[in-house]
Chain A
């Protein structure tokens, strides 16, 4: 079907508020990734969902960050008590198979988060 979609495309919030970012992966893709790209920085891995297995949360920067993937499809990244340093573009990607180091990752357009 269509590519990876993310919503909202832009989010402006006040420091201390919670935000939820949504990702709809390509239909049938079992692997889903979240990355963060801060201004002038490279991409930073956050979390990886691999089919029905436990997610790899090793990239989450603090316990304010959490993510879930419902029904093996849609994923939500939640940031609690947002801080200004959380301002970044949050990118979601999916790939066809779990546990595959050879599949291409397909990226969504990202959500630009600005914390005032």
Chain B
């Protein structure tokens, strides 16, 4: 059974810092991995989707990497801004539904 863990559970850093969020999973037989952002009252927004054949995806200041053999993905946020404050979740589809990590709550201090 796939299990997804995100570390740390919460992170608070000053504006401008580069930071890394971690996601680990127990079953390396994955189809893809997605990173989402959750803002209070605004649902979930997909940030990046990495197919199992890819090693990384980039979108603006965000870079997500995937290492299936070690069961890990990282989300790198460059030059963090207060607007990046949100909860970041990773999710994997073993079938058609997603299995979710508990998320990392990120606070960027101005």
Task: List chain A positions with a Cβ less than 8 A from chain B.
Answer: 4, 9, 31, 33, 35, 41-45, 48, 50, 56, 59, 91, 93, 99-102, 104-110
Interface string of B85-104 (1 = CB under 8 A from A): 00001010101111111110
* 20 extra interface residue pairs, beta carbon distance < 8 Å, beyond A101-B31, A105-B98: A31-B96, A33-B97, A41-B102, A42-B4, A42-B101, A43-B98, A45-B99, A56-B95, A56-B96, A56-B97, A91-B44, A93-B44, A102-B32, A102-B51, A104-B49, A105-B34, A107-B45, A107-B46, A109-B41, A109-B43
Count how many pairs of residues, one from A and one from B, have CB atoms less than 8 Å apart in the complex: 62
CB <8 Å contact, B100 and A110 = no
Distance in angstroms between the alpha carbons of A99 and B31 in the assembled complex: 12
Minimum C-beta distance from B98 to chain A (A)? 7
Minimum C-beta distance from B34 to chain A (A)? 7
Distance in angstroms between the alpha carbons of A105 and B44 in the assembled complex: 9
User: A105 contacts which chain B residues (CB < 8 A)?
Assistant: 34, 46, 98
Minimum C-beta distance from B22 to chain A (A)? 15
- Given contacts A42-B89, A48-B96, A56-B97, whether A101 and B32 have CB atoms under 8 Å apart is yes
Total chain B interface residues with beta-carbon distance under 8 A: 25
Task: List chain B positions with a Cβ less than 8 A from chain A.
Answer: 4, 31-32, 34, 36, 41-46, 49, 51, 89, 91, 93, 95-103
User: B101 contacts which chain A residues (CB < 8 A)?
Assistant: 42
User: A48 contacts which chain B residues (CB < 8 A)?
Assistant: 96-97
CB <8 Å contact, B97 and A59 = yes
User: A109 contacts which chain B residues (CB < 8 A)?
Assistant: 41-43
Distance in angstroms between the alpha carbons of A107 and B39 in the assembled complex: 12
User: B97 contacts which chain A residues (CB < 8 A)?
Assistant: 33, 35, 45, 48, 56, 59
User: A41 contacts which chain B residues (CB < 8 A)?
Assistant: 102
Distance in angstroms between the alpha carbons of A110 and B107 in the assembled complex: 22
**Sample (21) of A-B pairs whose CB atoms are under 8 Å apart:** A41-B102, A42-B4, A42-B89, A42-B101, A42-B103, A45-B97, A45-B98, A50-B96, A56-B95, A59-B97, A91-B43, A91-B44, A101-B31, A101-B93, A101-B96, A105-B46, A105-B98, A107-B36, A107-B43, A107-B44, A110-B43
